[in-house]
Chain A
């Protein structure tokens, strides 16, 4: 079974600084997707960024970027120029290709300090 591990239960970052959230996963598949979702206090699940495993280039969305290391099965999220609105729970998720469920990590709670 696939598993997703987020080893940092909590992280904090100063406003305008950069922070990296870690994620590792375990799979025997070669074709899959990886995601980072943000869950603010409203509890809405918001997609931050996605990566297809067959793409070597790391995904980037404005201030958010990933470091995808397929061989190491690592998928970290970097948030640059952190803003107060970035404070939330961040979940790393894996999904095998095809219509299959998302498998989530336990999450990292990010605090942003003004």
Chain B
């Protein structure tokens, strides 16, 4: 009964490189949410996806950031040309379809990105 799986747990990149963070939702969950947590701050919503669709990307920076949730495989959050300000913990959460939902989002353990 695996929970939400995120990898890598820790990622170090140099400025200008690309970072790819992966998230596999809980079994039976078809909705994925990405959040960013800067040091000493709360979680900020970035993007909400269903399989092959971006539903809400209102929290996503307009440049360098993209997300996908393909028909097969995990959801991927991609950050191009990383800068030091991208250093943060990135959390993925999942939920089932609405009629099965208790309202709760189930979180992964997060991926900590450090940009040197």
Binary interface encoding of chain A residues 83-114 relative to chain B, with 1 for a CB under 8 A from any of its CBs, else 0: 00000000100010111111111110000000
* Size of interface on B: residues with Cβ below 8 Å to A: 28
B98 within 8 Å of A by Cβ?
yes
Interchain CB contact under 8 A, B103 and A52: yes
Q: A45-B91, A99-B95, A103-B45 are in contact. Are A50 and B107 (CB under 8 A)?
A: no
Q: Does A44 contact B (CB under 8 A)?
A: yes
Q: Does any Cβ of B come within 8 Å of A33's Cβ?
A: yes
A101 touches B95 (CB 8 A): no
Answer whether A105 and B91 are a contact pair too, CB < 8 Å, given A43-B110, A47-B104. Answer: no
In the complex, chain A residues 57-105 whose Cβ is within 8 Å of any chain B Cβ:
91, 95, 97-105
Q: What residues of chain A lie closer than 8 Å to B41, measured between beta carbons?
A: 106-107
Interface residues of B (CB under 8 A from A): 31, 33, 35, 37, 41-45, 48, 55-56, 59, 89, 91, 93, 95, 97-98, 101-105, 107, 109-110, 112
